[in-house]
Amino acid sequence: MRLLVLPGDGIGPEIVAAATAALGALNRRFRLGLELVHRDVGFASLENVGTTLPAEVMALATEVDGVLLGPVSTEEYPPAEKGGINLSAWFRTHLDLYANIRPSHVRPGVPAHVPAMDLVIVRENTEGFYADRNMAVGSGEFMPTPDVALAIGKLTVAGCRRIAVTAFELARRRRGRLTAVHKANVLRIYSGLFLDQVGQVSRDYPDVRWDTVIVDAMAALLVRVPERFDVVVTTNMFGDILSDEAAELAGGLGLAASLNAGDRHAVAQAAHGSAPDIAGQDRANPAAFMQSVAMLLDHLGAHGNRRDLVDAAACLNAGTDALLADPATRTPDLGGTAGTKAFTEALVGAISAG
Ligand code: NAD
């Protein structure tokens, strides 16, 4: 099994190195037969070959079994014509990674803003108000006159259906509860189409109880009664914002794991950004990326009928959670004193000893 490893920018190289060290230990312990293919993207490749995403990496991404993508400093990239390709957008659209799965749960012993939370946000990842990527030709964001800015949101029946199916399937495997988050009180046609498709798909899942919540109320309910939610399905922009809120309530962005998945490809990519404020200081929390990689292994194991990959994913999750529970092995963002490297060494030791 071949995995493409792309460190990215900012804290990317540090947390990706941490995850590949853990993967090495898992590979030895579970005899997974993993082959890691390393390539540069982001500012490293911009300097060397003039683009943040070389054509060779694009080709490799379509051939491998899975991708580990570190955070990328998209906001700081030059325009596309000067080599600044938005990697997140490219991977999601070209590999058709329509489901962005973002779990948030309060871990035993880890300081959190809410006492209880164990939910998964299933965010549609290829449509919605991401206007820079929702047109076949041209951009959905434009200025007809210098004083007018327009951005187009796009939803399709097929796009809403497939994300609804993903969410209902997940709810069935979890606590059998699903909430569809929308803004159909204002965007009657746009959010209305999404809700209509979720409702139609729900008929195939009579065992899943589902309801709807308006997005602004959802922002408040996540703080007030987070334990009420199990699987939350929503459109692209709402899911992006709510998943950061949920991650922060559960402990912080350093715990925000995330998997981008489609029918043929999957990319592990933490929800947080490249954190330039702490890059190169051995202060980055690798837990979010570590558990994104665990999600990738679990996904590949489930789809390829490989119990060893599922077991390795569980081992990586359990090892990470055990270190987070102990203040001595937590990183500074969670009030701990451990550096990225010390966290990684302890995790590799625990995996190897098991
Ligand atoms: P950010 O997520 O990088 O940082 C926000 C805050 O959270 C910072 O204080 C940072 O230090 C902290 N933080 C984030 N991840 C952490 C971790 N693993 N451990 C400890 N602390 C962590 O968001 P930002 O500052 O708005 O964005 C910085 C850059 O990242 C921008 O160029 C943006 O475009 C990009 N970005 C990339 C992704 C991605 O690659 N998936 C996502 C969001 C933002």
User: So what's the pLDDT on residue 354?
Assistant: 78
Q: Let me know the angle formed at the C-alpha of 213 by 173 and 135, rounded to the nearest 5 degrees.
A: 85
Give the model's confidence band at 108: pLDDT under 50 very low, under 70 low, under 90 confident, else very high. confident
| The two three-digit tokens of residue 51, written as one number | 């683009």
Give the pTM.
0.96
Q: Ligand 1 center to residue 17 CA distance, Å?
A: 17
Relative to beta strand 148-151, strand 66-69 is: unpaired
| The two three-digit tokens of residue 299, written as one number | 């996904």
Q: Which of 269, 272, 333 to mutate to test the pocket of ligand 1 (most atoms within 8 A of CB)?
A: 272
User: So what's the pLDDT on residue 271?
Assistant: 95
216 is catalytic: yes
Residues with CB under 6 A from ligand 1: 11, 71-76, 88, 253-254, 269, 272-278, 284-285, 288, 333
Query: Is the distance from CB of 136 to CB of 271 less than 8 angstroms?
Result: no
98 is catalytic: no
Give residue-wise pLDDT tens across range 232-245. Answer: 999 999 999 999 99
Catalytic residue among 77, 130, 230, 298: 130
Give residue-wise pLDDT tens across range 158-192. Answer: 999 999 999 999 999 999 999 999 999 999 999 99
Q: Ligand 1 center to residue 213 CA distance, Å?
A: 28
- Whether pLDDT at 109 is above 90: no
What length does the chain have? Answer: 354
State the closest ligand 1 atom to the C-alpha of 287, by its place in the atom list counted from 1.
Answer: 18
DSSP 320: H
* Distance from C-alpha of 226 to C-alpha of 205, rounded to nearest angstrom: 24
Residues 6+ apart with CB under 8 A from 196: 160
Q: Ligand 1 center to residue 182 CA distance, Å?
A: 26
If you take atom 13 of ligand 1, which residue's CA is the nearest one?
275
Give residue-wise pLDDT tens across range 262-305. Answer: 999 999 999 999 999 999 999 999 999 999 999 999 999 999 99
| The dihedral formed by the CA atoms of 323, 324, 327 and 332, expressed in degrees to the nearest 10 | 120
* Distance from C-alpha of 279 to C-alpha of 112, rounded to nearest angstrom: 24
240 is catalytic: yes
User: By three-state DSSP, how is residue 271 classified?
Assistant: coil
Q: Ligand 1 center to residue 80 CA distance, Å?
A: 21
Give the model's confidence band at 81: pLDDT under 50 very low, under 70 low, under 90 confident, else very high. very high
Relative to beta strand 177-182, strand 231-234 is: parallel
